[in-house]
Chains A and B, each alone.
Chain A
Amino acid sequence: MKRTTLDLWVGLFVTAGIAALLFLSLKVGGFSSAHMKETYSLSARFDNIGGLKVRGPVKSAGVVVGRVTDIRFDPETYEALVEMRIDARYRFPGDTFASIYTSGLLGDQYIGLEPGGDGKKLVTGDVIVKTQSAVVLEKLVSQFLFDRAAKGQDSK
């Protein structure tokens, strides 16, 4: 088949385009959701999830080990039910503690898992019982203010 310079240009163009797409997905995108191949799901109940979002990270010792997949409100217990998928490489003991933290002062909220000492590991569908809710800044501030006000009245 006859080759033309036009074919060369089109070939170069398509190669550059595919290289750009690869660059965007690998270098820029970092494939954050793709490198978790096998996962298992856990759920946890919280009194207050604060600003936790679906797709937010689940961290243990500061390392991302999973993602939040679903957040629902349980109308019977009036609690938030958070579903998360954890990388299958990481197994956590049965008495793992789940708390909601904020990264930085104004950053996004994430779930922190602190492993306990139980020999039995959590398997898919398990519910984490020991949880700690998000710190709501307004509550803290008002507590502090009421505390100060009460102290001020005492000293009078």
Chain B
Amino acid sequence: MPDFAFLRRLGGNTVDRLWRLGVASRFFVAILLNSGTALRRYPLTFREIWFSGVLSLVIILVSGLFVGLVLGMQGYEILTRYGSDTALGVMVALSLLRELGPVIAGLLFASRAGSAIAAEIGLMKATEQLKAMDMMAVDPVARVVAPRFWGGVISMPFLAALFSCMGIFGGWLIGVVMIGVDEGVFWSQMQAAVDFRHDVLNGVIKSVVFGVAVSLIAVFEGYDSEPTAEGVSRAITRAVVTSALAILALDFVLTSFMFRESP
């Protein structure tokens, strides 16, 4: 009789994943149902915007600048081979607005704010603060989870927009100030090629979707963590890894919807 332990473990893991996905969906609905309280008691949400938005600003701005600088250099190096170095502004702006802005800002947001949210909620659970709230007839989903979720969702588009701005500034710094691409052409080509609805708005939609995904994964992993030191640390790791995968997979799906050439 062969030992099917491997198959059994595989099946168990699959069922466990599906189970968690179902619980996460139910949790998402619970957050939405309880978010009335979070938005009415907006100081709670404000504190979370400060926590996940304002405190992520430095890393977002600095990374945006560096990404823009690199884009400027690489873009110039490639475009100048085809004699079209004036298209540098277009390349920098489009790649930031459509992809790099939302995606990298989302990844940074997941590792900066998502991990902190998961850790906070996980520790609250491990130290039985959530249970204590429940005892006092305070719904922890409304009091703790929903404000953090909405704080993340509101912060994310702003962070992505600031990231893109800093990136374009970085590209401008390299292209115009250091290399000497004509400034007027840099901006006018960019304005001619970037469309408000097709590029800017789709980028904002992407960043909102990533904000929802990262915030939901972070609060869920924290809330669902095992109430031990090891459980919390595992929850934080899972929050960051799952968010990163979710961002990249969602980005593929959204891009194929948004930027496919119409047949």
**CB-CB under 8 A for A29 and B165, given A7-B46, A13-B53, A17-B159:** no
B12–chain A nearest beta-carbon distance, Å: 45
A6 near B47 with CB under 8 A, answer: yes
For B53, give its contact among A10, A25, A28 (CB under 8 Å): A10
Q: Could you say which of A31-39, A88-96, A117-125 contacts chain B?
A: A31-39
A29-B196 contact in complex given A6-B50, A10-B49, A10-B54, C-beta closer than 8 Å: yes
Q: Is A34 in contact with B158, judged by CB distance below 8 angstroms?
A: no
> Are A25 and B196 CB-contacts (below 8 A) given A13-B49, A14-B158, A17-B161?
yes
Q: Shortest Cβ distance from B120 into chain A, in angstroms? A: 17
Total B residues in contact with A, Cβ cutoff 8 Å: 33
Contact of B196 among A6, A7, A33, A55 (CB under 8 A): A33
Whether, in the assembled complex, A144 has its beta carbon less than 8 Å from a beta carbon of chain B, the answer is: no
Q: Which residue of B lies closest to A14 (CB)?
A: B158
Q: Is the CB of B200 within 8 A of A17?
A: no
Q: For B93, give the chain A residue with the smallest CB separation.
A: A28
Q: A29 CA to B191 CA in the complex, in Å? A: 5
CB-CB under 8 A from B161, the residues of chain A are 17, 20-21, 24
Complex Cα distance A24/B101, Å?
12
Residues of A close to B49: CB separation below 8 A: 10, 13-14
Q: Does B168 contact A (CB under 8 A)?
A: yes
Cβ contacts under 8 Å, A28 to chain B: 93, 97, 168, 190-191, 194, 200
Interface size class of A (residues with CB under 8 A): 20 to 34
Q: Does A136 contact B (CB under 8 A)?
A: no
Q: Report the bound CA distance from A31 to B195 in whole Å.
A: 7
Given A6-B50, A7-B46, A9-B50, decide whether A29 and B162 contact each other with a Cβ distance below 8 A.
no
The one of A14, A24, A30 that contacts B97, using a Cβ cutoff of 8 Å? A24
Contact with A along B192-216 (1 / 0, CB 8 A): 1011111110011000000000000
Using CB atoms and an 8 Å cutoff, list the residues of chain B in contact with chain A.
Answer: 46-47, 49-50, 53-54, 57, 93, 97, 155, 157-159, 161-162, 164-165, 168, 187, 190-192, 194-200, 203-204, 261-262
Pick 8 A–B contacts, CB within 8 A, sort by A: A9-B54, A16-B57, A29-B191, A29-B195, A30-B191, A33-B197, A54-B262, A55-B198
Closest 9 CB pairs of A and B: A17-B158, A30-B191, A20-B161, A29-B196, A20-B165, A29-B200, A13-B54, A20-B162, A21-B161
Given A21-B157, A31-B196, A33-B196, 20 more A-B residue pairs with CB atoms under 8 Å apart are A7-B46, A9-B54, A12-B54, A13-B155, A16-B158, A17-B157, A17-B158, A20-B165, A21-B158, A21-B204, A24-B97, A25-B196, A25-B200, A27-B191, A28-B97, A29-B196, A30-B190, A30-B191, A32-B195, A33-B198
Residues of A within 8 A of B (CB): 6-7, 9-10, 12-14, 16-18, 20-21, 23-25, 27-34, 53-55
